[in-house]
């Protein structure tokens, strides 16, 4: 089974490929080489945006595609930045700018109230319809400063209590073992497995 990853975020593509890479029978391809116009993410939920990205991309390239819509929800900010995670510090903001903005917004919030959650919704679609949807979440705490150089986006300020490190302090292998994206991909694989392993 061939799946084209409908994402322009190279970090996401690398993580998805690394997690799915060892599954035999699944050919994972990036969007490189396909001409796809920019898809406007104007929905109010991760699910809505993931569905839109998957279906529109599938129609343009006439392939089965996998989309990922994800973000960070901070309890003290009533779930923000949420679906606005990529644009929280303006279009094209760097990881540092996103993290600095979040730390500013949480300046006077005490440690016990800095709870947050990363979420990913994955959608598989062919040019005609949505075939599968899967979700993954990962709970953590927002730090008071940036720590670590790995990962992307909000990883330097997302502290993962089970490993006592921020996601940016984890190796790619460690992050991919525990992340919201890993959990969503596992939920997706439960649905996909019968298709590519010859089951029913």
- CB closer to ligand ITT out of 115 and 193: 115
Distance between CA 112 and CA 19 in Å, rounded? 32
- The catalytic residue among 68, 69, 145, 155 is 69
Query: Quick one: residue 152, left, alpha or beta (phi over 0 = left, psi -120 to 50 = alpha)?
Result: beta
Answer yes or no whether residue 56 interacts with ligand ITT by CB under 6 A: no
- CB closer to ligand ITT out of 110 and 173: 173
- CB closer to ligand ITT out of 26 and 153: 153
x/- track of binding to ligand ITT for residues 96-135 (CB under 6 A): --x-------------------x-----------------
State the residue number with the nearest CB to ligand ITT. Answer: 153
Distances (CA, A) of 187 to 72, 86, 135, 137: 19, 24, 7, 11
Answer yes or no whether residue 152 interacts with ligand ITT by CB under 6 A: yes
CA dihedral (152, 97, 161, 139) positive or negative: negative
- CB closer to ligand ITT out of 118 and 159: 118
User: To which residue do tokens 């279009």 refer?
Assistant: 91
Answer yes or no whether residue 169 interacts with ligand ITT by CB under 6 A: no
42 is catalytic: no
Name, in order, each residue with C-beta under 8 angstroms of 111's C-beta and a sequence gap of 6 or more. Answer: 141, 144
Answer yes or no whether residue 71 interacts with ligand ITT by CB under 6 A: yes
Distance between CA 146 and CA 57 in Å, rounded? 35
**Residues that are catalytic:** 69
């Amino acid at each position: 089974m061939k799946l084209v990853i409908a994402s322009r975020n190279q970090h996401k593509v690398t993580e998805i490929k690394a997690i799915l890479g060892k599954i035999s029978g699944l050919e994972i391809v990036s969007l490189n080489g396909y001409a796809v116009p920019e898809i406007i993410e104007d929905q109010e939920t991760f699910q809505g945006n993931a569905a839109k990205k998957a279906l529109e991309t599938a129609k343009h390239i006439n392939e089965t595609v996998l989309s990922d819509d994800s973000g960070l929800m901070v309890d003290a900010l009533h779930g923000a930045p949420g679906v606005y995670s990529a644009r929280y510090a303006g279009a094209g903001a760097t990881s540092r700018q996103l993290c600095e903005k979040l730390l500013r917004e949480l300046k006077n919030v005490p440690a016990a109230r800095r709870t947050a959650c990363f979420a990913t919704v994955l959608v598989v679609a062919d040019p005609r319809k949505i075939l599968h949807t899967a979700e993954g979440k990962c709970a953590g705490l927002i730090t008071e400063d940036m720590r670590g150089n790995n990962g992307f986006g909000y990883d330097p300020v997302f502290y993962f209590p089970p490993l006592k490190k921020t996601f940016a302090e984890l190796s790619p292998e460690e992050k991919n073992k525990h992340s919201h994206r890993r959990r969503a991909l596992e939920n997706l694989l439960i649905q996909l497995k019968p298709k590519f392993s010859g089951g029913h």
